[in-house]
Structure 1
Amino acid sequence: MTNPDYLTIQIGNKIKSIRKENGWKLGEFAEKSGLSIAMLSKIENGRVIPTIPSLLQIIQTLNLNVAEFFSDLKSNEEFKGYIFRKKSEYTSVNKEEESIGYNYQLILNYPIEKSSMEISLLTLNSQAKRSSVSTSGFEYIYLIKGSLKFELGKEVFHLEEGDSLFFDGNIPHVPKNEQPEEAVLLVVYFITMN
């Protein structure tokens, strides 16, 4: 199944990239396309999906045909129970055209309906031990400091600083710190509500 938010971000990134290849500022693009700067900014930054007439207007302004525009857009993979991301895979996003020094990195965009969220900071020293556990809902971990081995069902992930993992908490899991230094993780729980 295709995640519509994922495609929204891909469409926005592609529009922004082609606009910049043409050497157009956002204001110039707005003038050429007949759409407002505010709307184009929201589209480029993946905050809104353009309507079909607006998207066709943008594609025409960029001098592309519709088939060419969509040819390399791809849907995200089928959810296998986890999404593992290396730091090198994060996408840089410029949310505000005129901002200086604000570097947003899109780590994960995945919709989860009917859930509450809990955020924790977990520090694991080298002596930390526990059995695998299962939790109801989804979990997201981001390794802030150190390195660790994360066992998720039959999968084993080796996380370095900046890596992240999103997974179905129902899969038995345990982080293991096999290094002498402590590991620090940001842990976000998405607890599903019935």
Structure 2
Amino acid sequence: MQDEILIQISNKIKDVRKEKNITIQDLANKAQVSKGLISQIENNRTIPSLPVLMKIIDALNLDLTDFFKDMSSRKKAANRIEFKKPKEYKPFEKEYAKGFLYRRMFTRTIHGRLVDFVLLELKNGARRTRNVKTESFEYNYMIKGKLEYEIEDQKYIFQEGESLFFDSRMPHKLSNIGGVDATMLVVYFFLPENA
């Protein structure tokens, strides 16, 4: 199964859950899994096993055909060009943090590895209060503003024009300390299982 489809599965679970006004806890209870696992799946932080995926689909009261009907692998020629305007960037919630606005620009599988291009806006004063981890390497380019990035207890002040690359499996969090809204390009290079 293509990594792009796995992200589509995660997004579909979250979209259907929200559309049906089901809380993460209610879905977890009905699917007989932990709330944390549902959150990790919805935020593309873990891949569900097939039995867990089947339980979640059943808990959402969907049949398999309906769940998978709009999903497709985007096997495209390497020389294909895709152009998007900012209004086409799809907003999504990576994990709840007030003032963090994520917009997915492109998601592509390149040489068998998933790469996710995201525009992240942090509202003035926005901060993550707890560390997060992602099964990826992460490249950040600061477009506007000033952030404090804490990675494994090491703090970095990150300003316009600067870049940061790190193994995002390390615990990390960030805060907007610049006094204005900040914007950053984030590129996630997802790792294969067992990497």
Structure 1 residues 51, 93: CA separation in 2 closer, same or farther (over 3 Å shift)? same
Partners of 2:18 and 2:94 in 1: CA distance:
15
TM-score, normalised by the number of residues in structure 2 = 0.52
Match of 2:105 in 1: 107
Matched, 1:28 2:26: yes
Matched, 1:93 2:67: no
Q: Which amino acid in 1 is paired with 2:69?
A: S
Larger Rg: 1
Q: Which amino acid in 2 is paired with 1:86?
A: K
Q: Unpaired runs of 5+ in structure 2?
A: 114-140, 145-184, 188-195
SS in 2 for 1:107: strand
Partners of 1:114 and 1:72 in 2: CA distance:
22
Deviations 1:149-192 (A, max 9, x none): xxxxxxxxxxxxxxxxxxxxxxxxxxxxxxxxxxxxx8x9xxxx
Match of 2:182 in 1: none
Cα shift at 1:59: 0.8
Partners of 1:77 and 1:55 in 2: CA distance:
24
TM-score, normalised by the number of residues in structure 1 = 0.52
Partners of 1:102 and 1:35 in 2: CA distance:
27
Identity %: 39
Asked if the contact 1:11–1:46 (Cα under 8 Å) also holds between the matched residues in 2, the reply is no
Match of 1:45 in 2: 43
Match of 1:83 in 2: 82
Matched, 1:69 2:67: yes
Q: Which amino acid in 2 is paired with 1:9?
A: I
SS in 2 for 1:79: coil
Cα shift at 1:58: 0.5
Deviations 1:102-153 (A, max 9, x none): 11112222244599xxxxxxxxxxxxxxxxxxxxxxxxxx9x79xxxxxxxx
Partners of 2:21 and 2:37 in 1: CA distance:
19
Q: What is the count of residue pairs matched by the alignment?
A: 118
Structure 1 residues 5, 114: CA separation in 2 closer, same or farther (over 3 Å shift)? closer
Partners of 2:78 and 2:86 in 1: CA distance:
20
Superposition RMSD in Å: 3.1
Q: For structure 1, which segment, 49-58 or 101-110, has the greater mean C-alpha deviation from structure 2 after superposition?
A: 101-110
Partners of 1:114 and 1:59 in 2: CA distance:
27
Q: How does 1:129-144 map to 2 (within 5 A)?
A: none
Structure 1 residues 64, 100: CA separation in 2 closer, same or farther (over 3 Å shift)? same
